[in-house]
Structure formats: structure tokens, C-alpha cells
Amino acid sequence: MAEKITKVACPTCGKEVEWRPENAFRPFCSQRCKLIDLGAWGNEAYKVPAEHDELQQDAQQQDRNT
């Protein structure tokens, strides 16, 4: 029986990537795509909702109530 290989789409370029332990850049197809994605996050190309702040405020309010 043939080995089943999981394939994922590279988040940066959409190229099909084989999910193998040998592929250190998974789920990216290459180091380049991985760096592009990390760089995009660092430059705030993606806007991340401030969920963490809201969660922390909720936790603090609960502490005060108890």
C-alpha cells in the first residue's frame, strides 16, 4: 500500500506542498514564502483584531468581582 502524503496549499503563493517532515518550511513551499509571510505580519500588512486586550480586560474585571 502506497504511503499517503498530505498536501497543503502554501499560504503565500497557493502552490501545492507535500506535508513531510523533510519539508522544514511547511506549510509553505519554500523558505522564501515563509519569510514573505512572516515579513507581512511584521509590517502589519494584516490587521489583527485586538482580541488579546479584550480578553485581558475581561480577566481583570472578573478578578475585581471575586
Q: Which residues bind Zn ion (CB under 5 A)?
A: 10, 12-13, 15, 29, 33
Residue type for 54, please? E
What minimum distance in Å lies between the beta carbon of 1 and Zn ion? 30
- Closest CB to Zn ion among 38 and 55? 38
- Closest CB to Zn ion among 35 and 55? 35
- Closest CB to Zn ion among 15 and 20? 15
- Where in the chain does DSSP place strands (E)? 7-9, 16-18
What minimum distance in Å lies between the beta carbon of 29 and Zn ion? 4
Distance CA 50, CA 32 (A): 28
Give the CA distances from residue 58 to residues 25, 38, 61, 62, in Å, rounded to whole numbers and listed in that order: 37, 30, 5, 6
